[in-house]
Amino acid sequence: MIEEPYRWVEAIANRREYIEDQLRRGSPIVLLNYADGLLLLTVSRETRKIFEVYDRVAFSALGHPADIERMRLVAIDLAHIEGFNRAVNDVSLRRLVNFGMSPALKGAFEQVYSAPYIVKILLAELGDDPEHDSIVKLDYDGSFARSDVEMKEPFDVLAGTAEAEKQMLDYLLEHGGNPRRSLDDALRLAAKTWAVGMETAERQDKVEGEETPPEKIDAEKAFKEHLKTRHVEAAVLERSRPATGKFRLLEEKEIRAALKDL
């Protein structure tokens, strides 16, 4: 039946709806610049969501854990083969996404007889200076956007719904402030932005269809509420790190110290 063009379009639309429904409740991810690089933060129940891909490339995702893992390994394999065959500096986020990850996702998405990847990915690459940092958002269907690189402040968010992402970006733009912020300040801002996203997604779930005037979200309160059952996960790409690998997973005590008076 899917040989007919109309059926195919229908099948794809169903697929989209199914995947988006699966992603709705995913824990948002915040990517934020700070004085010494880029910070990635999310709040997770158990499984890890933020990973190192290569010396200067970090990966984070929401979706099905097995699909996250598969895409993570695709990225790591590609990066290491390239870094080995050519040179470490030839591994670039743009090439990883354009010629590797995006085609893989698109291919899986359009094979209507097999399972698609239920995953949304946010990738960051640390440049030699802030002007050369780059961020890419990659969707389950392989479409991607290099986001906000032209902006003076590189930051981005990833969430289960478009509305949650919009609320988070609005919050960031409103409270953004100083791009030379310290890591502690960045952690606090990222945590609050995360709470705005999570809260928005949950409210959307509750009101489903009803048109209620949106109540203003108290980010700090929402954050504390969620932290009862989850823990904060954060990693940085640090420009001043002496090793060739710039990725560092933040330790729990570091995060706790920064967020204690939130």
Partner 1 sequence: MDHPTPLPQFLHDGDFLSVLKAHGYEVAPRLADAAAKFQHEAGKGGIATEGTTVLAIKYKDGVLVAGDRRATAGNLVMYERAEKLINIDSHSVLAIAGVPAVAFEMARVLEHSFKYYLRSQLQEMSTAGKVRSLSKLLKENLPLTLQGVGMVVPIFATYEVANGKDGGGKVYFYDALGAQFEGVDYSASGSGSLSVRSVLHYLNNWGGKPLAKYTESEIIVAALRLLDTAADSDTATSGYNPKSNIFPLVRTITKDGIHEISEIDLAKAYRSEV
Select 7 or 80, whichever has its Cβ closest to partner 1: 80
Q: Which residue, 83 or 176, has its beta carbon nearer to partner 1?
A: 83
- Per the CB < 8 A criterion, the answer to whether 199 and 227 are in contact is no
Q: Closest approach of Cβ 218 to partner 1, in Å?
A: 36
Rule CB under 8 A: is residue 251 a binding residue for partner 1?
A: no
Q: What is the DSSP letter of 211?
A: -
In angstroms, give the least distance from the CB of 7 to partner 1. Answer: 34
Task: Decide whether 81 or 257 has the Cβ nearer to partner 1.
Answer: 81
Beta strands in 14-93 (DSSP E): 29-34, 37-44, 50-54, 57-63
* Closer residue to partner 1, CB minimum distance, 3 or 46: 46
* Binding status of residue 81 toward partner 1 by CB under 8 A: yes
Shortest Cβ distance from residue 237 to partner 1 (Å)? 14
Give the CA distances from residue 84 to residues 70, 77, 79, in Å, rounded to whole numbers and listed in that order.
21, 11, 8
**239 class by beta-carbon count within 10 Å (0-12 exposed, 13-18 middle, 19+ buried):** middle
Number of CB atoms found within 10 A of residue 171's CB: 22
| Choices 123-131, 158-166, 167-175, 238-246; region in contact with partner 1 by CB under 8 A | 238-246
Closer CB to partner 1, residue 76 or residue 227? 76
Minimum Å gap between C-beta 12 and partner 1 is: 29
What are the tokens at 211? Answer: 């048109």
Q: How far is the CB of 241 from partner 1 (least distance, A)?
A: 11
Distances (CA, A) of 253 to 35, 42, 236: 20, 16, 15
- Out of 2, 7, 14, 77, which residue is the one contacting partner 1 (CB under 8 A)? 77
Q: How many CB atoms lie within 10 A of CB 206?
A: 8
What is the Cα 30 distance to its own chain's centre? 6
**Contacts to partner 1 from residues 44-73, by CB under 8 A:** 48, 51-54, 73
- 50: β partners: 60
Question: Does 18 interact with partner 1 (rule: CB under 8 A)?
Answer: no
- Can you tell me the distance from the alpha carbon of 16 to that of 141, in angstroms, rounded to the nearest whole number? 8
Distance CA 34, CA 154 (A): 9
| Residue 90 contacts partner 1 per CB under 8 A | no
Total residues contacting partner 1 (rule CB under 8 A)? Answer: 16
**Using CB under 8 A, which of 245, 252, 256, 257 touches partner 1?**
245
Beta-carbon contacts of residue 20 (< 8 Å; ≥ 6 apart): 161
Which of positions 177-236 make contact with partner 1 (CB under 8 A)? Answer: none
**For the chain, what is the largest distance between any 2 Cα atoms, rounded to a whole number of angstroms?**
60
Note whether 253 binds partner 1 by CB under 8 A: no
Residue numbers at the binding site for partner 1 (CB under 8 A): 48, 51-54, 73, 76-77, 80-81, 83-85, 242-243, 245
